[in-house]
Amino acid sequence: MYHKLIYFYSVEFFFRLFYIFVSFFLCIIVASLNTYYLILFEVYPFVTYELKKFIVTNIMDLFDMIWYLVISQSFFFVFPYWIFQLYKFSSSSWYLYQLRFFKKSFYFSFSLTFLSLGLIHFGLLPFILYFLTKWEVKNDDLFSIFVEFRVISYINWVLTFRYFLGSLIFLIFLVILHLWFLMKINYIYFLIKHYRKSFIFGILCILFLVTPPDGFLQGFFLILIFLIFETVFLFVCYKLCSIRFLKYANF
């Protein structure tokens, strides 16, 4: 009996994995046929402030750039389908409330992450590029600085910055949602109130170790983590006040 179950689950697992690989290769084909729009989308933050010059030092830079864009976008668009296959594969062994919680938590986290990535790409990246490219030496007698971007370095930096920040935001929202539903509200309030500074310090230490030593980027992480904790603490306080108000209203 157990051998048959292992056989059936293994067959289902390999078939679903095969579907994911087929979808990934189809995404690669579609992305390869639309490389012009991929490049236009990635360089949009660069051309927003009329910064329209790139440097290509090797003909293979263009091939590497297209390869990075096609693979990264294919992974991004196949990720929801991979989660869907995981959901279907687990549906035979999970309880109904677990499946609902998994689906709602993924929808919530992925939607907010997708919105955050849009704000980062169309709002934060143009501001960072404008700030970096408009810095110049005022004294002409010393020397002048002329900034130009190498296309492959620009694409690598944009993809790394966006997907690292997107993964971080996705994990943060996922953890917050799990803590919100799986822990008592009083315990969450106690943790945030008494250990908020320790959590912020620990998260910032990890981020500063894995990110480049850039002052602007570290300042952005500092403000982002601080705002996330303050927003969560505000919602927890609002939830506690609502619960207490309902208790007193019932009396």
Q: Where are the beta strands (DSSP E) in 71-227?
A: 149-150
Q: Name residue, tokens 């009083």.
A: 186
Phi, psi of 147 (to 5 degrees): -100, 125
| Total number of residues shown for the chain | 251
Separation between Cα atoms, residue 76 and residue 117, nearest integer Å = 12
- Residue 66 contacts residue 35 (beta carbons within 8 Å): yes
> What's residue 142's pLDDT?
56
Q: Which residues contact 49 (CB under 8 A, 6 or more apart)?
A: 126, 129, 130, 133, 134
> What's residue 248's pLDDT?
64
> What's residue 161's pLDDT?
78
Of 79, 84, 228, the residue nearest 167 (C-alpha): 79
> Average pLDDT by consecutive 10-residue portion of the chain (251 residues)?
71 85 89 82 67 68 81 86 85 81 83 82 74 57 62 78 80 78 73 80 77 70 82 79 67 56
Which neighbouring-strand residues pair with 54?
Answer: 149
Rg, Å, the chain Cα set: 23
> What's residue 137's pLDDT?
47
